[in-house]
A and B are shown apart, each in its own frame.
Chain A
């Protein structure tokens, strides 16, 4: 076995997928070849190192939150939930009714309460809270008008005192996402309105917010309405 042949087998050797004959030939070559032995040692160490990388574990609280959110979101608007597309599902719709093929939803922190409130969002005055608004479209759309409006007690990081951001966008088929880095700047209830407009028709989503004093935990309800 020469070096080229040996190097072609290194990965299979590391993965223990070589035949017994090839293992003997490979090991015999490496015993006499410092270059191939070095390569083998380096790749073996690398594989061990990769296997030693720590994994994240799903804690009980997050596990519960994931299930609760799914159930609450779907129960709150089952029609909307049904429009979320799985790979095998094919949708058909008329181009004129394009707006109806768009769904808006938000992924945000929430806490459920014994009283059965739907959703909650927490804002901390001096911290950025990223709100993700997903726009799901059943087809690619060249141009929609996007608007994000904030109440006076909220700020979009990077936009200073600007309360409204408008822009034109193309939507891909599937889920399109906007991440809104929101900061609460004053107490009271707030509102984030996202509008997607096509030819004068629009989909609107309101996300209610409550300001939270640092150190003084307060959770306020969030109401999500579909336009």
Chain B
């Protein structure tokens, strides 16, 4: 028996699983985060995927291009479980829903420091159509090419292009609006402060 064969026999399934998936898990986590938009849910979806994949180690071993396969599986799981979960949570009778049940409306990046412009764009991202947001996230934020995005989302490149372009335009309009609203709010705040100061001076 060759040393390599002997070595393979001595490797536990857990080791083999980790060796196979580990080179890709960082990217999988980033994808999960972009999809779920918060770290807790990203971890949960990724955990669920690993639990599903581990018993299928032999199948996993046979996959030619593992990275895109894993990314696709992650996206499928996100669609099948996490995204449905947002709706399925309503199975709890409405008057018994605890206040703190997560509804997926959490703003991402809550714990990450962003500058004003980044904050503005992140806020605007929350308001666009999910299909468009995911393509923008994968293509413009994560830097995947459209064929790669097409492979992950199993959607034709033409459809993705259209979503990307419409999403960018909507995003720009929303960001402009947020900026205009912010300017208006700043002006009103300044006017209020000016009036307060004037009143204080007139009292003196």
Residue positions of A touching B, CB distance < 8 A:
11, 42-43, 46-47, 49-58, 62-63, 66-67, 69-71, 73-74, 78, 81-82, 84-87, 105, 107, 128, 130, 132, 134, 146, 156-159, 165, 167-172, 174-181
Contacts and interface: CB of A to CB of B under 8 A. Distances in A.
Contacts of A181: 98-101
B96 A58 contact: no
B80 A174 contact: yes
A42 B101 contact: no
A161 to B, nearest CB: 14
Given A11-B168, A158-B98, A54 B22 contact: no
Contacts of B141: 50-51, 53
A82 B55 CA distance: 6
Interface string B166-185: 00110110011000000000
A172 B73 contact: no
B121 A66 contact: no
Main DSSP-derived SS at the B contact region: helix
A179 B102 contact: yes
A50 B81 contact: no
A63 B24 CA distance: 11
Contact of A86 (B21, B52, B169, B175): B52
A69 B44 contact: no
B171 to A, nearest CB: 7
A128 B99 CA distance: 11
Contacts of A158: 97-100
Interface in B61-120: 73, 76, 80-81, 84-85, 88-89, 91-93, 96-102, 109, 112-114, 117-118
A147 to B, nearest CB: 12
B51 A81 contact: yes
B128 interface: no
A159 B14 CA distance: 41
11 contacts: A46-B168, A46-B172, A47-B140, A54-B109, A66-B47, A84-B52, A86-B56, A87-B80, A107-B48, A169-B91, A175-B84
B153 interface: no
B80 A70 contact: no
A11 B89 contact: no
A113 to B, nearest CB: 17
Interface string B37-53: 00110111011101111
A51 B25 contact: no
A163 B17 CA distance: 41
Contact of A159 (B40, B43, B51, B98): B98
A167 B88 contact: no
Contacts of B112: 54, 56
Nearest to B40: A130
Contact of A165 (B39, B96, B121): B96
Contacts of B113: 54
B143 interface: yes
Contacts of B161: 11
Nearest to A168: B93
Contact of B25 (A66, A107, A175): A66
Given A11-B164, A53-B118, A158-B98, A58 B25 contact: yes
Contacts of A87: 73, 76, 80
A175 B89 contact: no
A180 B89 CA distance: 11
Contacts of B47: 66, 69-70, 107
A128 B100 contact: yes
